[in-house]
Amino acid sequence: MRVVIDQVSQRQQDILALARLHGRVSVEELAARFEVTPQTIRKDLNELCDSRLLSRIHGGAVVASGVENVSYEARRLVAHGEKRAIGEAAARLIPNSASLFINIGTTTEEVARALGDHEDLLVITNNLNVATLLYRHPKMSLIVAGGPVRRADGAVIGSAAVDFINQFKVDYAVIGASAIDEDGTLLDFDYREVRVARAIIENARRVILVADKLKLERSAPIRVGHLRELDYFVTDALPSGALREMCAEHRVDLVEAGAEPSAHETPDAAA
């Protein structure tokens, strides 16, 4: 990787550093930052993508996915407004006095944040960030899975967490995914996290996937499950006609929350 990076220009190295910091960069903002034309930035991004250092998306690029996820802090910044809207929409699907799993992920954390006004919930999670958000609520019971903690994002993973989850049968599961393939496959990066996610799916009566539309532009190597296993798919928007038809075919309730793009994610229509 070092050899590849050494072959790119200083501006491209700076672009790569910004992408790793924020998770995503836009053509418009980069052109203004470096005082060059959008065409020059597009050329830079295309070259970085050709080197598999970034992945091109509409209006910009993200850190290349495939075998390793973007950092937790960067994921929190990407599509933040969209994730907040998704979290609020998903929370509205969950009634008072319900039991639920909440899995690891920056979008599932937004669901937890939006559950603050609910009453008499039993929440079981392998996400320490969710536990931090919810443990003070007096009208909520919280159970945290045991096992090794992944330092990168506070996920409790591994066989102990799987065994713990398998003790329960709950009303709802709120899960995320790192990528969604056009054939409906849900994908992630860490096989230990996927094992916990599978246990969560299998021990819930209804499954809610929360994922923004950028997940359709990414790839990841490990299969979590398939769209047909869901009861609800909550997203900001679903541009894929094939996935929309798949939701209808498998009776998956599609909820498009919608949100204004975050300020640093203004789309460049010419990209």
Lowest mean pLDDT of 53-62, 135-144, 203-212, name the range: 53-62
Q: Check whether residue 59 and residue 110 sit in a common domain.
A: no
- Asked whether residue 4 carries a pLDDT value surpassing 50, the answer given is no
Could you tell me if residue 162 is inside a domain? Answer: yes
- Cα-atom radius of gyration of the chain, to the nearest Å? 19
Decide: 271 and 217 in contact? Cβ < 8 Å: no
CATH number at residue 150: 3.40.50.1360
Q: Facing residues of 25 across strands?
A: 61
In tens, the pLDDT along 92-121 reads 999 999 999 999 989 999 999 999 999 999
Same domain, 61 and 110: no
Asked if residue 56 has pLDDT above 60, the reply is yes
The verdict on residue 270 lying in a domain is: no
Is there a single domain that holds both residue 96 and residue 199? yes
**Domain termination site, one of 37, 52, 76:** 76
36 lies in the same domain as 142: no
The count of structural domains within the chain is 2
Same domain for 225 and 107: yes
Residue 50: band (very low, low, confident or very high) from pLDDT cuts 50, 70, 90? confident
Confirm whether 1 is domain-assigned.
Answer: no
- CA 109 to CA 148: how far, in whole Å? 19
Cα–Cα distance between 50 and 33 in angstroms, integer?
23
Domain boundary among 32, 60, 76: 76
239: containing domain: 79-256
Angstrom distance (rounded) from CA 91 to CA 245: 25
pLDDT at 126 over 60: yes
Considering 18, 49, 76, which residue would you say is the last residue of a domain?
76
What's the pLDDT band for 2 if we cut at 50, 70, 90? very low
Whether residue 81 is predicted with pLDDT greater than 70 in this model: the reply is: yes
